[in-house]
């Protein structure tokens, strides 16, 4: 069956609580592969607006000294979970690695909980703006149950029992914790420069402006980033919406797009899950 909505039809037959690993795989690897990657990049940007989070990242030096590797390693670990499932052998190894890496540092549970919430809500919010179709209820709830289960395996405490409560936490946390700090700027700017470095030097200013155009005013203020021009604020979302409109007319993806099977700049010859992340000598304070 090659109908454009064949993935959606399968998802709608599944139970979001019992089948959330399958739902997340179908949604993120078939219908919304590009969108999920971009949304999770924005999710990480949001976490850098919290001084308690950015200070830790800034102190280790990982984002300033090895930005691409930090990005690749985070991308791979999250992709292992999304693509293979947290209950698979690979997923279990990824969870163990994540827990070992985080265990080196003293991290507030509320900060952990917020980062987890961004992985849930940012793909949904991106989809509502730029998706070629709107996620169905099974997809939204499937993402909730998926990340709830991941959070439990990361030993995060006080994870809300329902979608609405978790969303309220996410909104209130940002309202109380987004504020400018020099570490926000340094961490955010290192990441902006990394993204800009993927393009020819002549395009770097335009890439930076495009990134700023996707960030709401509270984020720009928390980073200390400049406001994008009105043209870029209009043009970038318009192009993404145009892309979504075009996708509705294209054939469906026949095979899953797996980021765990592509070459990453920091790991051109493949990777070992147990070796991802900062070097062992990086210690928390």
Tens of pLDDT, residues 110-153: 999 999 999 999 999 999 999 999 999 999 999 999 999 999 99
Q: What is the pLDDT of residue 258?
A: 95
Dump pLDDT digits (tens) for 28-45: 999 999 999 999 999 999
Judged against a pLDDT cut of 70, whether residue 2 lies above it is answered with no
Measure the CA angle with vertex 203, ends 201 and 204; round to 5°.
65
Q: What is the pLDDT of residue 252?
A: 86
Judged against a pLDDT cut of 50, whether residue 284 lies above it is answered with no
3-state secondary structure at position 173: helix
Residue 55: CB atoms within 10 Å:
16
The position carrying tokens 């980021």 is 259
Q: Which of 105, 122, 109 is nearest to 151 (CA)?
A: 109
Q: What is the mean pLDDT of the chain?
A: 93
Question: What is the residue extent of each domain of the chain?
Answer: 6-250
Whether the full predicted model's pTM is greater than 0.75, yes or no, is yes
The position carrying tokens 């993404």 is 240
Q: What is the pLDDT of residue 285?
A: 43
> Using CA atoms, how far apart are residues 56 and 14, in angstroms rounded to an integer?
40
The position carrying tokens 């308690």 is 52
Judged against a pLDDT cut of 90, whether residue 17 lies above it is answered with yes
Residue 127: CB atoms within 10 Å:
22
Dump pLDDT digits (tens) for 77-100: 999 999 999 999 999 999 999 999
Please give the structure tokens belonging to residue 235: 């043009």
Q: What is the pLDDT of residue 62?
A: 72
Q: How far is CA 34 from CA 73, 247, 273, in A?
A: 18, 12, 23
Judged against a pLDDT cut of 70, whether residue 7 lies above it is answered with yes
């Amino acid at each position: 069956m090659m109908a454009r909505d064949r993935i959606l039809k399968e998802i709608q037959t599944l139970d979001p609580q019992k089948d959330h690993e399958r739902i997340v795989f179908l949604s993120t690897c078939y219908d919304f592969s590009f969108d999920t990657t971009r949304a999770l990049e924005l999710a990480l940007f949001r976490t850098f607006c919290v001084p308690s989070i950015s200070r830790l990242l800034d102190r280790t030096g990982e984002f300033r000294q090895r930005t691409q590797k930090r990005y690749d390693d985070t991308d791979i670990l999250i992709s292992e979970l999304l693509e293979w499932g947290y209950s698979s052998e690979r997923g279990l190894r990824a969870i163990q690695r994540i827990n070992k890496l985080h265990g080196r540092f003293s991290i507030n549970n509320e900060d952990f909980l917020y980062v987890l919430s961004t992985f849930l809500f940012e793909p949904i919010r991106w989809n509502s703006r730029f998706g070629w179709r709107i996620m169905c209820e099974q997809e939204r709830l499937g993402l909730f149950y998926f990340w709830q289960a991941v959070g439990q395996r990361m030993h995060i405490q006080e994870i809300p029992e329902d979608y609405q409560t978790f969303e309220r936490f996410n909104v209130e946390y940002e309202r109380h914790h987004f504020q400018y700090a020099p570490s926000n700027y340094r961490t955010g700017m290192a990441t902006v420069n990394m993204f800009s470095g993927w393009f020819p030097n002549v395009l770097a200013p335009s890439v930076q402006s495009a990134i700023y155009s996707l960030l709401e005013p509270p984020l720009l203020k928390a980073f200390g980033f400049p406001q994008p021009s009105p043209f870029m604020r209009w043009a970038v979302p318009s192009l993404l919406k145009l892309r979504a409109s075009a996708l509705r007319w294209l054939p469906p993806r026949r095979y899953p797009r797996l980021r765990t099977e592509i070459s990453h700049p920091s790991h051109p010859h493949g990777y070992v899950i147990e070796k991802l992340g900062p070097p062992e000598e990086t210690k928390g304070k």
